[in-house]
């Protein structure tokens, strides 16, 4: 029987949250031909013994953290579904959420990607769909400018649209925390760019999906509860490195030489300022001590061009991932 849906999950020290995620989609999966593929990015804890699903569940163990994009690309090569549900382990669908997402994809055949409305566990809206990722969009991320009124207009408009929309609407790109992707769109674009380690691959992928003639939609009636950043809260240094690696790789890939140069200089000045601030605050906070290490590492990343490849932010040299261990339950 053809597989309708392949659920793809890249795990990094969040295996304790997987049961909640799978429970939230059990009803949908039990009614359709489906499969779950989980890539464990070097957590080394192994598959939880209590983890079960109403369909085939395959667990792949990587000895090292090879990144979000690489993990999903490897899963997609093994997936058999007509559509892929790319979803974070620290997320759960509200009742009927996946059904709504699925129907939106079926009713809009030119939708290469459909994303849900995402909110925090306390009910607050999590901004997860965005206008196109342009140079000005990226500049607003510098020096906390996105928090000022003049620079946050586009984001406010998207939040308003999320609150008012009664059905699917087009967006520039959507967060990789949850994407329902058609196999056709995935294969035409080649999936995620593996040179993004963590972050940036979603905006880049959505841009290429649109270039291939598909639409990126948000279905606000499909609600996903996302804890956001659970895997990275234990590694503040790496969180800083991942951000600047994706920022410079995206700029180099999509923006002009002049725009890339501006972002390179902006990132450098921003890091120097944060490093000075971090020097003083690190005397009072362990978190700031970790961030300060990240700022130093990010400056090395920038000046030596280590942002060009994901290996520049890998904690260990990743081994080949073509033949991971796997257990089918």
Query: In the predicted model, what is the mean pLDDT of the chain?
Result: 86
pLDDT at 50: 72
> Residue 26: is its pLDDT beyond 50?
yes
Coil, strand or helix: which one is 77? helix
Give the number of other Cβ atoms within 10 Å of residue 72's Cβ. 27
Helix extents (H) in the chain: 18-30, 68-78, 97-107, 135-139, 153-164, 183-189, 201-211, 236-254, 257-281, 286-303
Average of per-residue pLDDT across 134-163: 71
> Residue 319: is its pLDDT beyond 50?
no
pLDDT at 230: 57
pLDDT at 317: 45
Compute the radius of gyration of the chain from its Cα atoms. Answer: 20
> What does pTM read for this prediction?
0.89
Compute the distance between CA of residue 58 and CA of residue 70 in angstroms, rounded to an integer: 17
Give the number of other Cβ atoms within 10 Å of residue 9's Cβ. 24
Domain boundaries, the chain: 5-231, 236-313
The share of the chain scoring above pLDDT 90, in percent, equals 54
> Residue 321: is its pLDDT beyond 50?
no
Long-range contacts of 276-285 (CB under 8 A, 24+ apart): none
Coil, strand or helix: which one is 266? helix
pLDDT at 216: 98
What's the CATH number for 5-231?
A: 3.90.550.10
Which residue shows structure tokens 């501006």?
Answer: 262
Coil, strand or helix: which one is 291? helix
pLDDT one-digit tens code per residue, 32-86:
999 999 999 887 777 777 788 889 899 998 888 888 999 999 999 999 999 999 9
> Residue 30: is its pLDDT beyond 60?
yes
Return the bridge partners of 40, or none. Answer: 11, 61
Banded model confidence at residue 310, pLDDT cuts 50, 70, 90: low
Which residue shows structure tokens 């690696």?
Answer: 245
Give the number of other Cβ atoms within 10 Å of residue 198's Cβ. 25
> Residue 235: is its pLDDT beyond 80?
no
pLDDT at 322: 41
pLDDT one-digit tens code per residue, 246-281:
999 999 999 999 999 999 999 999 899 888 887 777
pLDDT one-digit tens code per residue, 169-228:
999 999 999 999 999 999 999 999 999 988 899 999 999 999 999 999 999 999 999 987
The share of the chain scoring above pLDDT 70, in percent, equals 87
- Are the CB atoms for 289 and 273 separated by under 8 Å? no
Residue 106 phi, psi dihedral angles, 5° rounding = -65, -40
């Amino acid at each position: 029987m053809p597989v309708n849906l392949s659920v793809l999950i890249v795990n990094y020290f969040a295996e304790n949250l997987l049961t909640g995620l799978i429970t939230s989609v059990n009803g949908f999966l039990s009614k359709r031909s489906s499969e779950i593929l989980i890539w464990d990015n070097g957590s080394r804890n192994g598959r939880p013994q209590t983890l079960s699903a109403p369909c085939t569940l395959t667990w792949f163990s990587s000895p090292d953290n090879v990144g979000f994009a690489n993990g999903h690309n490897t899963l997609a090569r093994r997936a058999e579904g007509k559509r892929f549900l790319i979803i974070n382990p620290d997320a759960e669908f509200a009742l009927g959420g996946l059904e709504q997402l699925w129907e939106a994809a079926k009713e809009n055949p030119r939708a290469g990607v459909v994303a849900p409305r995402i909110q925090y566990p306390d009910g607050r809206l999590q901004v997860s769909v965005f206008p196109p990722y342009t140079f000005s969009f990226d500049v607003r991320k510098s020096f906390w400018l996105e928090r000022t009124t003049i620079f946050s207009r586009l984001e406010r408009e998207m939040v308003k649209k999320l609150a008012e929309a009664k059905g699917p609407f087009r967006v520039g790109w959507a967060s990789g925390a949850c994407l329902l992707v058609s196999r056709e769109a995935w294969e035409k674009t080649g999936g995620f760019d593996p040179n993004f380690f963590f972050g940036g691959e979603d905006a880049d992928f959505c841009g290429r999906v649109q270039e291939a003639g598909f639409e990126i939609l948000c279905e606000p009636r499909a609600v996903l509860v996302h804890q956001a950043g659970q895997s990275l809260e234990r590694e503040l240094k790496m969180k800083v490195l991942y951000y600047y690696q994706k920022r410079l790789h995206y700029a180099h890939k999509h923006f002009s030489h002049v725009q890339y140069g501006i972002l390179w200089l902006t990132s450098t000045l921003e890091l120097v300022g944060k490093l000075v601030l971090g020097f003083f605050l690190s005397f009072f906070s362990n978190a700031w001590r970790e961030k300060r290490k990240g700022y130093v590492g990010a400056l090395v990343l920038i000046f030596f061009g280590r942002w060009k490849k994901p290996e520049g932010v890998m904690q260990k040299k990743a081994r080949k991932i073509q033949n991971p261990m796997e257990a089918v339950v």
